[in-house]
Amino acid sequence: MREIVLDTETTGLDPLRGDRLVEIGCVEVVNRFVTGQVFHRYINPERPMSPEAFAVHGLSDAFLSDKPVFRDIAADFLAFIGNDPLVIHNASFDMGFLNAELKRIRKGPLASDRVIDTLMIARRKHPGQQNSLDALCARYGIDNSRRTRHGALLDAEILAEVYAELTGGKQSSLLLAGDDRTGRSAETNLTGVLVRQSEVPVISLISAEERELHRSFVSEIGEKALWNAYFAAESKS
């Protein structure tokens, strides 16, 4: 399933008082795994930056002065997100700004029922604990050392990792031995963990050319490269 992990930066805290978007960052994930496809734009907000917001993200009026306005990037943004679910941390904030910008250019709002709010997921999973993005990174051992300041694309990339941990996405295909009650076939992978076989074939996201380039790269590493074991298993299947 395709989902879009999204984050924004703004001139302030309240779109109803005229605060505007200054940055949008989106990361495409398919079945909880990052594909490498991203959407990232800086936006001229057509109004001054508040000192408080500048302290958070460091985007100055001078830096944003030659960037496109929201109207000029809206079509590309909407095309990238399509109709897929939007994964956002504290979604009411970002959605408020996005829908305010869309309203200004007479576009319909993004529906709230397509939003997955990771803050709500974290609060249910870790009640009574800190559930900021930094706190979740610390809890799940995710490296956020690059996050010296907020940035929409960087925060979306980090959130994609957090989302996978919150939802168990990285391990959702693994089963404990003897616990398959579905009757579906299973086999042991290279690490000795029992893996449930999907009833629907998984479509490869890489081309034949990319596959060959990867094989060539692995051959340069040497015979001890872990990927050689996967290639051997693949050739037997």
Which sequence positions are flagged as catalytic? 150
Q: Are 41 and 7 in contact (CB under 8 A)?
A: no
Q: Are 195 and 175 in contact (CB under 8 A)?
A: yes
Determine the angle formed by the axes of helices 208-221 and 227-236, rounding to 10 degrees: 130
Give dist(CA 81, CA 192) in Å, integer: 38
Q: Is 160 exposed, middle or buried (0-12, 13-18, 19+ CB in 10 A)?
A: buried
First CA to last CA across the chain, in angstroms? 25
One-letter amino acid identity for 152?
A
Give dist(CA 8, CA 88) in Å, integer: 9
Q: For residue 36, what are its two tokens?
A: 């490498």
| C-alpha distances in Å from residue 27, one per residue of 5, 53, 65, 206 | 5, 23, 25, 18
